[in-house]
Amino acid sequence: MGNKITKLLLRYETYSDILEEYLNLEEFRNLSPLTISSKRLTITSFMNYLGDSKVKNFHNCSQKNVTGYLSSLAHLSSSTISGRTFILRHFFNYLSSKNITLFSGNELFPVIFTNKRERILSFYSTKEIRRVISTIKRSTPYGKRDFIVILLAAELGIRSGDIVRLKMSDIHWERNTIEFNQHKTKTFNQLPLLENIKYALIDYLKNGRPESDLEYIFIGVKNGGKPLTNTCIHQIVSKYFQKAGIDISERKHGPHAMRHSLANNMLHNNTPMYVIKEILGHLNINTTGMYLNIDIDSLRELALEVPYEAL
């Protein structure tokens, strides 16, 4: 499997307007193109199934039609099916909010079972990450911006949603820290302002950032001076993976791959799990274990007993 999402043609025009309205929701504005493509594929596939089943609109769609569609996916992996189920749940919640269906996604799927351990998490070696960073030409404003963006993702593991929301007030020069509330978890995180990141940030702020009264650190050049979006961050990271000639055919190559690579490489360097947990901003160490595909309970069972020595 590669990273490209297969395009699928919608065969029933009657569903076209709803598909486009849904995919253009404001809440999806900062999602990566890959995520939007995945949603489009799932919803289009489902709409084609309905059309093939002679269901002309969502008013005539029953819960059996939905379960029938999922049954038709039996040839796919369970993780793919659960992923499509999450998309359908959100989609039917949207349809219900518009009174287009008689049931919501939460009624359809109150619980969705998924085996996250099936996922092959994409990560890159320290050598590969260095190659990516070395391809950035820092002599231009774009290069200065891209350099600090990739350092934040690769060396501190900051999510793209937090990178685009970083403000000047989040940088505490006096104590060499970056402090912010994480957008995804709504929890506080404090990370070290490493020396190389500090000087790259100063270089960008002085010589690369467009003039702006906005508090946000990363401002676009061609978007009317607005903050960057998640999509922009994904495009920046992906561009340099390709420039570096890294094999990305079987691996994701966005900012989240940088974040996972940092965690994976720390683990291989025997960094304690609680340190990785703090850097990633996880609330629970079991979340960190799942993130790295580590079975914490099994590790506890394999732990050697501390020998008793009589005093």
Span 35-50, pLDDT tens digits: 899 999 999 999 999 9
Give the contacts of 283 (CB within 8 A, at least 6 positions apart).
Answer: 185, 187
CB atoms within 10 A of CB 299: 11
- Tell me, what's the pLDDT at 51? 96
Class of domain 126-298: mainly alpha
CA distances 174 to 169, 178, 192, 193, 203, Å, are 12, 11, 12, 10, 18
User: What span, in angstroms and rounded, lies between the C-alpha atoms of 291 and 293?
Assistant: 5
B/e letters for 240-262, b = 16+ CB within 10 Å, e = fewer, are: bbeebebebeebbbbbbbbbbbb
Q: Backbone dihedral region of 176: left (phi > 0), alpha (psi from -120 to 50 degrees) or beta?
A: left
DSSP 58-119: GGG--HHHHHHHHHTTTTS-HHHHHHHHHHHHHHHHHHHHTTSSSS-HHHH-S-----GGGS
The domain made up of 13-118 has a fold known as DNA polymerase; domain 1 (1.10.150)
The domain spans of the chain are: 13-118, 126-298
What are the tens digits of pLDDT across the range 144-182?
Answer: 999 999 999 999 999 999 999 999 999 999 999 999 999
Domains 13-118 and 126-298 share a fold: no
CB 2 within 8 Å of CB 249:
yes
Region 51-61: what's the mean pLDDT?
Answer: 94
Q: How far apart are CA 259 and CA 275, in angstroms?
A: 14
Q: Give the tens place of pLDDT for each residue, 72-97.
A: 998 888 878 888 999 999 999 999 99
Residue 196 pLDDT grade (very low, low, confident, very high; cuts 50, 70, 90): very high
For tokens 């690369």, the residue is 208
Please give the order of strands across the beta sheet that includes 177-181: 171-172, 177-181, 188-192
pLDDT, greater one: 121 or 192: 192
